[in-house]
Structure 1
Amino acid sequence: MKVNSQFRKTFLLFSFSFFLASCLTNVEETIIEDEPETDPCSTITYTINVKPIIDNNCIQCHGSGGNFPNLTTYNGISANATSVKAEVVSRRMPQGGSLTTTEIEAISCWVDNGALNN
């Protein structure tokens, strides 16, 4: 009987130790969340993205003394931003040339974000 009691004590002590050890090692797992998707339009700026497109594709016809609207300045472009967007999205402009999908998306994003002078 003494051996049985000793065995019980040892077994309970071992079980209790195992239970505590298992609780300590699995406290909490690190949860890795997917990074939120970034808005591709958030990086589009007038100076870096839109102005070079206009300068390379529109100024030939819509420059000083050319067709209306005059797109040589920020004020001229921003005042006609909705029209510029509509023309490039429909691919009616630039006449005699074409913009890439990336260029059209840049102009669209810039207009949709308020045609800021940034």
Structure 2
Amino acid sequence: MDDRITIGQLRLNGVNTAQSRKTIHSESKSGVESFKEVLDRNVLNFSHHAEVRMKQRGITLKPEILTKIGNAIDDAAAKGAKDSLILYRDIAMIVNVPSRTVVTALDGNSLKGNVFTQIDSAVIVS
């Protein structure tokens, strides 16, 4: 293993890189998801408003909780939801499902007496 690879030395078995890019692009249109599409589907976004509310209310989310919330959004999307109330323990979030964006977040104290409107679904995360 004394051979080193330098920049520009690695080739795709004689395949023209412009041709390979065209192939990758055409494959994404033929039903195979591109890396960006997979990444966008799995990313959870937070609006500025949601970030401010979470900071004000002391809401922090660990990576495993974010994964559970992402799975809940996937479930809501599979049912055709557009705007969902996601409940996790004493945290409630309004999420725009198509964009996977948390619009606002409430903690247990802020939940009391609230009426949630303009949602079409609710998902309870365990």
Q: Normalization by structure 2: what TM-score? A: 0.28
Higher alpha-carbon Rg: 1
More helix by share: 1
**TM-score normalized by the length of structure 1:** 0.30
Higher strand content, 1 or 2: 2
Flag the structure with more relative contact order, 1 or 2, with Cα contacts below 8 A and sequence separation at least 6. Answer: 1
